Every structure is written in C-alpha cells, then in structure tokens.
Amino acid sequence: MGFREVWVLCLSIMLAASAAAVDQQTYIVHMDTTKMVATTSPEQWYSAMIHSVNKISSLHQDEEEASNAAEILYVYKTAISGFAAKLTTKKLHSLSKIPGFLAATPDELLQLHTTHSPQFLGLHREHGLWNSSNSASDIIIGLIDSGIWPEHISFQDKGLPPVPKKWKGACEAGPKFSPSNCNKKLVGARAYIDGYEAIVGRLNVTGTFRSPRDSNGHGTHTASTAAGNIVNKASLYSQGKGVATGISFTSRIAAYKACWPMGCANADILAAMDRAVADGVDILSLSLGGGVTAFYKDNIAIAAFGAVQNGVFVSCSAGNFGSLFRSAVSNAAPWIMTVAASYTDRTFPTTVKLGNGQVFEGSSLYSGQNTAELPLVYNNTVGGQEANLCTPGSLVPAMVKGKIVVCGRGKNPRVAKGEQVKLAGGAGMILINTQLDGEELFAEPHVLPATSLGASATKAMLDYIASSKNQPTASIGFQGTKYGSRAPKVAAFSSRGPSLIGPDVIKPDVTAPGVNILAAWPPIVSPSELEFDKRRVLFNIISGTSMSCPHVSGLAALIKSAHNNWSPAAIKSALMTTAYTTDNKMSPISDVSHPNGEPADPFAIGSGHVDPEKASDPGLVYDIAPGDYLNYLCSLNYSSTQIGLLSKGNFSCPSKREVVEPGDLNYPSFSVIMKAKNVSVTLKRTVTNVGYPMSDYSVQINNPKGVEMIVKPKRLSFERSGEKLSYKVSFVALEEAEDLGEFSFGSVVWVSGKYRVRSPVAVTWQ
C-alpha cells in the first residue's frame, strides 16, 4: 500500500471518528419511486420525508436530535432514484420506516485512480475511424473528475459545427469560471461539492476553485486524452514531442467536477452522473474508484446501471493497487467497461553507470544535463531514520551534498523524494524498486537529475554499494524520447482480478495505454504537482488507470459515431472480442509485475489490448439488455430489495425453472469455477451478426489446462445482418483441482474470413 493509500485510510478513520462524535453524516438514500403518489414530484416527496423525521425529533423533545436537523444535499432522478442527506442514526431509523425506502449507505471519499498513444492504437488521419465521414461530432463525452482548464488550446472549438440540439446541459458560473468559458468543444461544465463539504468541512479555496475550473490537473488531462483537439508540437520540455490529440478529437466534452483536494464524495459523484445522463451525454468516463463491495452497495455501479439503461456507455478505471493485492480490481460491475493500464512502445530511457562498470537502463522525464561520475550514497550514509526513503528531514546535508542519493519507494511521493535530496544539497537521485514493485519504470518530471530503476538493477546496485571497498560511484545519463520498445506490457500498478463480487465475469475487461501519457495540463499546476516546483507547462506526462480509462472512453465515442444504433453492451463487446494478446515482437503481452516478464493473464489484461479499427467492424457482438443484468443479479442470490436498488422499484426474479447460472450472462468472455474432476459446467452465449449478411463462422478452441471445452454447434451460419444465433460451451474438468494450481486459461474463437471473434476463458480451481 502506497503513501497516498495509507494517507487516505488514515483520513477516512479520522473522518469516521468525527462523524461518530456528532452522530450525523451524509447518507445516499435509495428510494422505490413506484411508491410515490403520481401527483407528487420526487423533490416534494423527499422533502416531506425529511420534514417528517425532523418533526418526530421535535415531538420527542430530543434537543440533540433537534439541533442536528436532517438536510437534503442532492435529489437523484435519472441514473438512480433517491437523494443524499445529512442524517443522524435516529433520523435514518425513522426514515427507514417510510414506505418506498430501499436502503441507505454512508457517503465516503473515493480517490482519483497523448502525442503517441493514438498512433500506437493504430489510429491515423483520414483513415478508418478517423476518416471525416466516420468522425461524427455529435457524440458527447461526460467526464467526472477534478474539473477542466477551459482556456487550454486542447479545448478550442475551431472548425466544429454548432452544439448538438440534443444537448440539455449548462455551463455553470463560479469563481474564475463563467458560461463564456464553454464553447462548441467544451459544451458543459458543472461542479458538485455539497457531499465533500459535509464530510471534510468548508473548502479552503487557497490554490483551488469552488467552480468547474481545475486546480489539480487530473481532469484536464483525462478530458484532453478522451476528446482533446489536435495540437501540433506538443511536448513536456521537448519530451514526447509530436501532435497531441484526443482519441475522439471531434467529440464534445462535458466536465463534471466532483473531485476536490482530499477526494471525491460519493454523493457528489452520483449527482454528477445523474445530471450527466439527464444532460444528454453519450459516454461517461470515470477515472476514480473505491473499495470492493457488493453491487447493491456500490453507488457508482448503481448509477452506472441507470446510465446504461438510458443508452450511455460507462467506462471506468480498474484501479492502481497492482498485483500485490489480487482481486482488488475496482468498478467490476458487468455493465461497466473496466480498463487496465499498459505501456506503449514510447519510453524515456536513462543510463545508470556504476563505478564497477555495470550499466542499467532506467526512466526519467528530467530534461537537463547528464551527471558526472559522483559518489553514490544510501541509507545510513545519508542520514538517520527513514533516510533510505528520503522522507522530509531524514537527509543530512553534510552527508548528501554533491552526491547521488539512492531513495526507496514509500512514505512520500516519488518526485517529492527528489525534492528532499535537492533541498539537502544532493546532485542526483536514483529511485529504486523492491521485488514487489518489479520492473515498473515510471518516467517522472524530477526537480533534479534523477531516474527510476527496476528491481533487478536495484539488487545489483545495492550489492555493489554493500561490497565496494572504496567510495561507490555512479553517473546518470538522459536519452530523451525513444520509440520501438517491446509493447504493450501491462503495468505493475494496474489492479488485478478476479473480482470477489462477480467471479463469474472476467475483470478487468481490456487494457489500454496508461503509462507515460502526455496530455493537457493547467498552467497553474507544476508538472510534479509539488508546491516547491515552480515550473509550469501546457502538457504533462503522467501514469495510471486514470489515463487508460479516457482512451477507451474516446474509442467508445468513435465506435458510437460509426454505429449510432449500437447498445453500450454491443460497443463493449466489439472492443473486447477484437482485442489482441501479443505484443509488437509477436510474443504474448507481458506482465511487468512478474520478475521475468511472464505473459499477462486475463485477470490482468481482460480480453487483451484494445484495437480500435478492428473494433469498428467486429463481425459478431454479444449484446446484453438491462433486464439480463438484473437476471444475473438474481443468479447471485440478491434479494428483491437489493435488486430494486438498480431496477428502481419492483422486479421479480425468474421462477426456479427459468433461473440462469451467473456464468450464463451473455458476456464476451468466460469465467468458470471448477471444483472436482469429471465435473461439467455448461454455459450459453448468443451472438448477433454485425458483419457480412451471409457468413459462416467456425469455432477454434484453446483448452485451459485440465479442462476440455466442447462447443455446440461448431459452426454458425448467418443469413442476414442483425441475425442472432446461440451456442453452448461445456467445460469438463479432466484433473483434480489440487493438481492444477489456482487458475488456468484458454479461449473460444469464432472465425470467418477477416473476422476473428475471441473470448478469453478463465478457470478458477476451488
């Protein structure tokens, strides 16, 4: 667990303790609107409830309860049904007795989880999805994030036609933000803060804005990645220099600010999602997330379901908890597109040469001169306690001055370690990985000559320092921007499956570029995000599943442009079944978290790396109607009340004779749980022909270890476009589970001419 996660955990504990002391906090209250009187509006109905519970406190002459009056913060009407309110435990109990009440969950703070990446994805001007006839400009991408810097060149509207008539959104005024900041590219901007302030307290506006304006950088970066304009000669201090463009550069942007200095409150995120769907967005992009919880308790999952019901595609980041925490994948509901992060073939290499002649490759965005050969110091040769981590106050200037300092990861941000070295008079820094960090190499805008090194190079360097009889030395050389390295590779930080909540669905769904991504940046935020750093830039290079998510949001917009009548599930299927699993050297996509770069499995990359042009013409799609998702929840044994949180009212599960297994959800991948030899599991899938009207598909099977897959029928013959045909796959365990390890993997592929419709198979042995 990194410094940021530890800090967030401590903050959550403090906030929870504070809430317990006053016994009032914000709750997300889910309501069954079928119980509402027809002549009453939701606002009137909820206001009457709150008035009622406040009145009960007065009648009971409870002074403490009366002083903590219940208060509505938001009313939700589109993506979900209900409201957010400040309630005491007693008032919540009273509210739960009112007809129509379904459930209430405490609010919480969640955390925020491209010059070259379009080319790496195979997108080219005036070709395929970027052909002017396919690049419709009426698609609107809504991003729920830290806001936007509207004046940035990436958001200029030159050449765009008028705002689509379907758009119902607005550009809300606030400090340093006016309606005139919006244009034909940035069609809407709103800010939501009530939930945040109910948890944290009044916003300290020093260095930030109580408006849609971005003072963090994250929201501006993700917005421009998804749909920023074409900008020539973009770079970060000449690193990554080229043409910066959003994946769907003709799409419009709607920015919904729900993230503030300490995080993003669920109540604000839901208000933003609810409003975005009502405003008319086509795509929702959320580069944020929380912990792993049941779908009926997951407010983002509930609101995302409402969005999908309204035809909105929802893309979310998988999270940055890495391979250390197996099954930590966020946003794992099957109606959400869950995106992992991977490397492109662009790198920012450095050369670290040790005094014994050993040479290693690192990574850095430092743009200055190479260092000379300098003394190399580490741990007790640089200071006292925590000197090995280069935390504030741990380095002794007399021991550091003019030397290259080795710093371990943890406690404080990576770039902040370089700040500490510079303040102590150090001449350079080498940021080292542990075995748990693997070979992950972050390229970061260090404030002094500095580089990162992978775990194997770290071990060799520390061995050299420990065994050297003389003063160890090293030099750091900076090579700038290079192309053509082995890629894609899944990032070590990218969260892994399998999902604990829905193990019958492989998560994440796909992987996309998320490492060292260059995109727009506010001119008031330093590239390192440190107060100490006075540098200012127009573009910045950062990493995370937060960066891969808007890539897929942009791709969904492109596919929506080409196929306006496709459902969110069809778009998702197209991206999944056409994803590839080999790198540019024709080897399996590797996993950076593994010591020797072993192949990544579907619980790291899902169906594989997205391939936009193939996704625009996938041949077959696995479509899923909203009702199918509800039946899936029935198969998980959710109660009618729990399912009602998503269905917004009455829903009856199929009878026992009709009940389906969880694995029967018409998902474009297969996740099977096997328990014993000779046990057989049979699952059904239905595919829709979106390719050539007359086409025959034959099946190719790659059996997982220990399992035989039997597909019936082995051939699917379509006579028209839009025709649906079904098939079944039987999975037969050939060996005992204890002989096979935890997982085994395979695939089912339908082939017809140029089409290759692939579904990964993951078998979990129990």
Task: Kindly report, residue by residue over 264-307, the tens digit of the pLDDT.
Answer: 999 999 999 999 999 999 999 999 988 889 999 999 999 999 99
| CATH number of the domain located at residue range(s) 25-106 in this protein | 3.30.70
Distance CA 7, CA 699 (A): 50
Dist CA 425 CA 418 (whole Å): 11
Spot the catalytic one: 32, 145, 345, 437. Answer: 145
pLDDT single digits (tens) 574-606 = 999 999 999 999 999 999 988 777 999 999 999
At position 531, the amino acid (one-letter code) is E
Give the pLDDT of residue 116: 60
Sequence-separated contacts (24+) of 50-53 with Cβ below 8 Å? 50/85, 52/94, 52/98, 53/87, 53/91, 53/94, 53/95
Q: Are 227 and 253 in contact (CB under 8 A)?
A: yes
pLDDT digits (tens, 9 = 90+) for 702-720: 999 999 999 999 999 999 9
pLDDT at 217: 95
* Cα dihedral sign, 174-179-184-188: positive
214: its two tokens: 């971005």
- Answer whether 411's CB lies under 8 Å from 571's CB: no
Please give the CATH topology (third level) of the domain spanning 349-478.
Glucose Oxidase; domain 1 (3.50.30)
pLDDT at 380: 86
Q: Which of 114, 112, 177 is nearest to 150 (CA)?
A: 177
Helix, strand, or coil (residue 655): coil
The answer to whether residue 537 scores a pLDDT higher than 80 is: yes
> Residue 410: pLDDT band by 50, 70, 90 thresholds?
confident
Question: Which one-letter DSSP state was computed for residue 16?
Answer: H
Is 94 strand, coil or helix? helix
Determine contact, residues 67/137, Cβ cutoff 8 Å. no
Confidence of residue 22 (pLDDT cuts 50, 70, 90): low
Write down the pTM of the prediction: 0.92
Domain ranges of the chain: 25-106, 117-345+489-582, 349-478, 666-765
- Euclidean distance between CA atoms 432 and 456, whole angstroms: 10
Flag whether pLDDT at 258 surpasses 60: yes
For 184-233, write each residue's pLDDT tens digit. 999 999 999 999 999 999 999 998 999 999 999 999 999 999 999 999 88
CATH code of the domain occupying 666-765: 2.60.40.2310
- Contact (CB, 8 A) for 501 and 296: no
Q: How far is CA 737 from CA 277, 488, 661, 745, in A?
A: 46, 32, 21, 14
Q: What are phi and psi of 3, to 5 degrees?
A: -55, -45
Average pLDDT over residues 731-756: 88
* 13 has pLDDT over 60: no
> Does residue 109 register a pLDDT over 80?
yes
What does the pLDDT average to over 335-341?
Answer: 97
Q: What's the pLDDT score for residue 419?
A: 93
* 145 is annotated as an active-site residue: yes
Asked if the bond preceding 498 is cis, omega within 30° of 0, the reply is: yes
Reported as a single tens digit per residue, the pLDDT across 25-55 is 999 999 998 888 888 899 999 999 999 998 8
389 in Cβ contact with 2 (< 8 Å): no
Position 15 pLDDT exceeds 50: no
Q: What is the pLDDT of residue 236?
A: 84
| CB-CB neighbours of 481 under 10 Å | 21
pLDDT class for 9, splitting at 50, 70, 90?
A: very low
Q: Please report the pLDDT score of residue 322 as a whole number.
A: 85
Catalytic residue among 218, 221, 551, 609: 218
| Whether 563 is catalytic | no
Sole residue written with tokens 């998510």: 549
Q: Does the pLDDT at position 572 exceed 90?
A: yes
CATH number of the domain at 117-345+489-582, out of 3.40.50.200, 3.30.70.2390, 3.40.50.1820, 3.40.50.11310? Answer: 3.40.50.200
Residue 411 has pLDDT above 90, yes or no: no
Whether residue 51 lies in the annotated active site: no
Per the CB < 8 A criterion, the answer to whether 58 and 23 are in contact is no
Task: Catalytic residue, from 546, 548, 607, 747: name it.
Answer: 546
More confident residue, 650 or 345: 345
**pLDDT at residue 78 above 70?**
yes
Report whether pLDDT(134) > 80.
no
Segment 538-545 shows an average pLDDT of: 92
